[in-house]
Amino acid sequence: MDSQAPISPLSTPAGTAASPVRHVHGACPHDCPDTCALRVSVQDGIAIRVQADPEHERTLGALCAKVSRYTERTYHPERLLHPMKRVGPKGSGRFQRISWDEALDTVAAKLKAIAARDPEAILPYSYAGTMGLLQGEAMAGRFFNRLGASRLDRTICASAGGAALAATYGGKVGMQVQFFAESKLILIWGSNPITSSVHFWNLAQQAKRAGAKLWCIDPRRTDSADKCHRHLALRPGTDGALALALMGELIRGDALDHDYIQRHVSGFDKLKARALEWTPERAAEVCGVDAALIRELAQDYATVQPAAIRLNYGMQRVRGGGNAVRLIALLPCLTGAWRHRAGGLLLSASGWAAQARNDAALQRPELLAGRSPRVINMSTIGQDLLREAAPDFGPKVEAVVVYNSNPVAVAPQSAQVAAGFQREDLFTVVLEQFMTDTADHADIVLPATTQLEHLDLHCSYGHTDVLINEPAVQPMGEALPNTEIFRRLAARMGFTDPCFGDDDEALARVALKGIDFEQLRARGWARLPVADAPFAEGGFPTPDGKVVVDAPGLGVPDFVPNHESPQMTPELAARYPLAMISPPARNFLNSTFVNVKSLRDIGGEPLLEIAPQDAMARGVVDGAVVRVFNDRGEVKLRARVSTRARPGVVNGLGIWWRKLGLDGRNVNELTHQRLTDLGGGPSFYDCLVEVAPA
Ligand SMILES: Nc1nc2c(c(=O)[nH]1)N[C@H]1C(S)=C(S)[C@@H](COP(=O)(O)OP(=O)(O)OC[C@H]3O[C@@H](n4cnc5c(=O)[nH]c(N)nc54)[C@H](O)[C@@H]3O)O[C@H]1N2
Ligand SMILES: Nc1nc2c(c(=O)[nH]1)N[C@H]1C(S)=C(S)[C@@H](COP(=O)(O)OP(=O)(O)OC[C@H]3O[C@@H](n4cnc5c(=O)[nH]c(N)nc54)[C@H](O)[C@@H]3O)O[C@H]1N2
Ligand code: SF4
Ligand SMILES: [Mo]
């Protein structure tokens, strides 16, 4: 369908003189740590080009391939341009155009009727389709607070690691990304930056050219692993064991910074005995790697400074993800790596922006008026949509309002998620730009604007700048910003609180503290005040400024094996001997962009990488369609026999739209809804499967 003509002509009709090109400050809206500043070129009301803002240092002069083509998204022939109501069975994707009046009246009438019984039977479901402060939880937050709807625990990506950082450092804080360029040793841990953080990768390359040694710690031999000096391909979910062995080696070799530990780490003695139990040989057994490689890594980490760790969320999507992050986060505290601005660790920088964000001014928690609605974890949406009312649960979910997310594709254990969204007695509203798997299940679809059509403000979890995104063009068709949709819905619901009258500019003006809005507007971005080496002298955002080893209620961190592993479930491991991970694909962003044909063509088909010996043992040949299955279900993928997969592990790449897959499903057919040790996160990469020729 991508072959249809675009909605708006990108060229000027013959015979008319083109007006001058105007440049607009933009920000990339996507869930990516790089948060690039955009320069949008507009001519005759049409966005003709999206480029890097050359003035913004962190954008390093270039965008990724996906967002360089952002105009293809805005002018995509399949954009949703008007409200629709479903006319076929749920999931069939058969819809009919309706007016905004009919759409809003229908939604308001339904929500009012449910709220009259119990507003907690209504659930918002959103994540990071846009990371914008306005089009995220601003007007939406006000709306659901005023309604008293169930609250959503937004755990689907980063909550295990986030909780671990909070327990250890006191917040989501870390190194400033630009100083990785000066590091002499970089551990790229659970991250594939060529795919997921290409600007960080650029900095790591600068360091490499200046003589730094790069390690990649990842079960998959990624493009990034290929370009590092060393690759430690451990089994999924064994990072905690590796971290303990590294610590053990640091202690045995007395490579500790005793002064830093004494002044800035509390409770280290409690960890010492545990770490000493972990030799490289013991960890090698658990991780499935060579002990010599662990020794070499420990030796490098003990002797090379400045040493920096780029941790990413890939490694915390397993049962023990929280404990593993706590252990890894302690490493730079034991060697005093934090003394250098090019040393330490970066998992998330979003805590630096927390001081500037005024979420309460946007979301208005006081509209709850003393109510404290139940909380539903977005990572268990499958089972929760199928639950009946119960004292430990509350009312059955009767309505879901989805925005900025595609749960039918991205949430674990899709069979349950799809069954939940197919419930005939569930009323589903989806605010979307495209007809996703989730929109297919809606009763009412409401068309949302893209980043070129609305105002927004952005913080970053990879750097410490804040950005503005000015609307570059008029909304396409009848699409509206999320803010405006919730504003109009509020009016239909009879919510008369004055805050529902705030326009987007009014929201933008209260969203950030300590940032001059006019200056932000003029320049496009502003820098938060963060020290170059923030923890050189301790001063972590914990109550006493020290790093925490023995966290209240959590104890001392330890290695925690996977939910599905030979240690925990030997019987299951015998039937399903392969561990499946499903990391992001380079040309998609989660399930976003799967419908952009030029990007999908690069991805080809949903692939399963399988190691040659595992393929041979199963009669699987390269290029064949295989069944990948476990007790939860089955999905068909195209096998790629490749040493990118280590023995015993298969890699199912990208989050494909189910309907664009080989059999109307994707890898989340196989994942489960058990949660991580900390933060209640999903354990997508903690999943045993078997593979057979289809
Ligand atoms: N192009 C692109 N960019 C993206 C995304 C995308 O989908 N596409 N997604 C965005 C999002 S939502 C996020 S959260 C970020 C970060 O997203 P992440 O999920 O951190 O993505 P990656 O950088 O691909 O890192 C994941 C890496 O962890 C590896 N891995 C899997 N299990 C384990 C394990 O148990 N231990 C270790 N050590 N490694 C493991 C995988 O093989 C993979 O290479 O990226 C963002 N950027
Ligand atoms: N198997 C497996 N599953 C995973 C992961 C994995 O690695 N493996 N990764 C997980 C991770 S890290 C994450 S973050 C989640 C991501 O999950 P989601 O946040 O749901 O991400 P997307 O799939 O990108 O879906 C976002 C949707 O928001 C829409 N959108 C974008 N901007 C707007 C807007 O302004 N208004 C409205 N109304 N809609 C908008 C887009 O069109 C898109 O369909 O997936 C998780 N699922
Ligand atoms: S997806 Fe990431 S790399 Fe690409 S433009 Fe957005 S912020 Fe930059
Ligand atoms: Mo994510």
Write the CB contacts of 382 (distance below 8 Å, at least 6 apart in sequence). 411, 412, 413, 414, 415, 416, 417, 419, 420, 673
Mutate to test the pocket of ligand 2, among 655, 667, 670, 673 (most ligand atoms within 8 A of CB): 655
- Report if residue 545 sits inside a domain: no
pLDDT at 15: 54
Q: Closest Cα partner for 325 from 307, 313, 308?
A: 313
pLDDT at 7: 46
- Report if residue 53 sits inside a domain: no
| Tens of pLDDT, residues 566-609 | 999 999 999 999 999 999 888 787 878 788 777 777 767 899 99
Report CA(653)–ligand 1 centroid distance (Å).
10
Write the CB contacts of 226 (distance below 8 Å, at least 6 apart in sequence). none
Segment 494-511 mean pLDDT: 98
What span, in angstroms and rounded, lies between the C-alpha atoms of 543 and 333? 17
Same-domain pairing of 305 and 338: yes
Same-domain pairing of 390 and 489: yes
CB 693 within 8 A of CB 624: yes
CATH value at residue 593: 2.40.40.20
CA atoms within 13 A on the CB side of 533: 18
| Tens of pLDDT, residues 619-642 | 999 999 999 999 999 999 999 999
Q: Which 8-state DSSP code applies to residue 343? A: -
Q: What percent of the chain has pLDDT over 90?
A: 93
What span, in angstroms and rounded, lies between the C-alpha atoms of 535 and 175? 9
Backbone angles phi, psi at 583, to 5 degrees: -75, 165
- Report if residue 11 sits inside a domain: no
* CA-atom Rg of the chain in angstroms: 25
Which residue has the least CA distance to atom 26 on ligand 1?
314
Q: Answer yes or no: is the C-beta of 159 below 6 A from any ligand 3 atom.
A: no
- Backbone dihedral region for residue 519 (phi beyond 0: left; psi -120 to 50: alpha; all else: beta): alpha
Proximal ligand: closest to the CA of 592: 2
- Report if residue 275 sits inside a domain: yes
Report CA(378)–ligand 4 centroid distance (Å).
13
Boundary of a domain, candidates 496, 527, 558 = 527
SS3 524: coil
Same-domain pairing of 132 and 276: no
Q: How far apart are the first and last CA of the chain?
A: 28
* Number of Cβ atoms within 10 Å of the Cβ of 491: 14
| Tens of pLDDT, residues 453-477 | 999 999 999 999 999 999 999 999 9
Mutate to test the pocket of ligand 1, among 31, 127, 196 (most ligand atoms within 8 A of CB): 196
C-alpha dist (Å) from residue 119 to 129, 146, 150, 376:
25, 10, 7, 14
- Report if residue 521 sits inside a domain: yes
What span, in angstroms and rounded, lies between the C-alpha atoms of 613 and 646? 9
CB 644 within 8 A of CB 226: no
pTM: 0.96
Write the CB contacts of 206 (distance below 8 Å, at least 6 apart in sequence). 181
Write the CB contacts of 144 (distance below 8 Å, at least 6 apart in sequence). 122, 124, 151, 401
Report CA(503)–ligand 3 centroid distance (Å).
28
Atom of ligand 3 nearest to the CA of 35: 7
Same-domain pairing of 473 and 380: yes
| Tens of pLDDT, residues 377-419 | 999 999 999 999 999 999 999 999 999 999 999 999 999 999 9
How many DSSP H helices and E strands does the chain contain? 25, 27
* 4 has pLDDT over 70: no
Report CA(66)–ligand 3 centroid distance (Å).
8
- Report if residue 497 sits inside a domain: yes
pLDDT at 20: 95
* 11 has pLDDT over 80: no
Segment 517-545 mean pLDDT: 97
Report CA(348)–ligand 4 centroid distance (Å).
12
Exposed e or buried b for every residue in 609-626, given b needs 16+ CB within 10 A?
bbbeebbeebebeeeeeb
Proximal ligand: closest to the CA of 681: 2
Residue with tokens 């607070």: 145
Same-domain pairing of 233 and 183: yes
Mutate to test the pocket of ligand 3, among 32, 51, 458, 467 (most ligand atoms within 8 A of CB): 32
Same-domain pairing of 341 and 451: no
What does the block give as tokens for 204? 């790591």
Strand order in the sheet with 525-527: 456-458, 465-469, 525-527
* Number of Cβ atoms within 10 Å of the Cβ of 330: 24
pLDDT at 3: 39
One-letter-per-residue 3-state SS of 596-610: CHHHHHHHCCCEEEE
| Tens of pLDDT, residues 637-680 | 999 999 999 999 999 998 899 999 999 999 999 999 999 999 99
- Report if residue 196 sits inside a domain: yes
CATH value at residue 317: 3.40.228.10
Report CA(307)–ligand 4 centroid distance (Å).
26
Residue with tokens 């989660």: 590
- Measured in whole angstroms, the distance separating CA 567 from the mean position of its chain's CA atoms is 29
Amino acid at 545: G
Same-domain pairing of 173 and 138: no
- Backbone dihedral region for residue 679 (phi beyond 0: left; psi -120 to 50: alpha; all else: beta): left
* Protein residues with CB under 6 Å of any ligand 1 atom: 31-32, 157, 189-192, 195-196, 217-220, 222, 236-237, 239, 312-315, 318, 581, 583-584, 586, 588-590, 685
pLDDT at 8: 45
pLDDT-based confidence at 2, cuts 50/70/90? very low
CB 676 within 8 A of CB 316: yes
Same-domain pairing of 607 and 504: no
Report CA(100)–ligand 2 centroid distance (Å).
25
What span, in angstroms and rounded, lies between the C-alpha atoms of 413 and 387? 15
What does the block give as tokens for 391? 């004292």
| Average pLDDT taken over every residue of the chain | 95
Q: Answer yes or no: is the C-beta of 599 below 6 A from any ligand 3 atom.
A: no
Segment 212-224 mean pLDDT: 98
Torsion of CA 408, 411, 416, 422, to 10 degrees: -20
What span, in angstroms and rounded, lies between the C-alpha atoms of 204 and 214? 8
What does the block give as tokens for 324? 């593993």
Q: Which of 138-147, 159-168, 400-409, 657-666 has the least mean pLDDT? A: 657-666
CATH value at residue 98: 3.40.50.740
- Report if residue 131 sits inside a domain: yes
Backbone angles phi, psi at 415, to 5 degrees: -60, -40
> For the purposes of burial, counting CB atoms within 10 Å of the CB of 515, is it exposed (0-12), middle (13-18) or buried (19 or more)?
middle
pLDDT at 598: 76
Same-domain pairing of 188 and 301: yes
pLDDT at 10: 44
* 9 has pLDDT over 50: no
Same-domain pairing of 425 and 507: yes
Amino acid at 74: T
Report CA(542)–ligand 3 centroid distance (Å).
32
Ordered DSSP codes for 284-312: HHHHTS-HHHHHHHHHHHHH-SSEEEEE-
Proximal ligand: closest to the CA of 602: 1
Boundary of a domain, candidates 527, 553, 579 = 527
Mutate to test the pocket of ligand 2, among 590, 599, 656 (most ligand atoms within 8 A of CB): 590
Segment 313-328 mean pLDDT: 97
CA atoms within 13 A on the CB side of 670: 29
| Tens of pLDDT, residues 70-98 | 999 999 999 999 999 999 999 888 999 99
pLDDT at 251: 98
Same-domain pairing of 496 and 575: no
Report CA(30)–ligand 2 centroid distance (Å).
9
CB 512 within 8 A of CB 457: yes
- Measured in whole angstroms, the distance separating CA 339 from the mean position of its chain's CA atoms is 30
What span, in angstroms and rounded, lies between the C-alpha atoms of 324 and 560? 8
Segment 244-257 mean pLDDT: 98
What span, in angstroms and rounded, lies between the C-alpha atoms of 493 and 614? 58
* 5 has pLDDT over 50: no
Proximal ligand: closest to the CA of 682: 2
| Tens of pLDDT, residues 542-567 | 999 999 999 999 999 999 999 999 99
Task: State the residue range of the domain holding 574.
Answer: 570-693
What span, in angstroms and rounded, lies between the C-alpha atoms of 205 and 251? 31
What does the block give as tokens for 418? 């799809």
CB 321 within 8 A of CB 678: yes
Report CA(268)–ligand 3 centroid distance (Å).
39
What span, in angstroms and rounded, lies between the C-alpha atoms of 587 and 594? 8
What span, in angstroms and rounded, lies between the C-alpha atoms of 274 and 271? 5
pLDDT at 305: 97
> Domain total for the chain?
3
Same-domain pairing of 602 and 681: yes
What does the block give as tokens for 429? 């509203």
Mutate to test the pocket of ligand 3, among 50, 57, 66 (most ligand atoms within 8 A of CB): 66
Q: Which 8-state DSSP code applies to residue 448? A: B
- Give the torsion sign (CA, 58, 62, 68, 71): positive
Q: Which 8-state DSSP code applies to residue 357? A: B
C-alpha dist (Å) from residue 320 to 258, 316, 561, 583:
29, 7, 6, 18
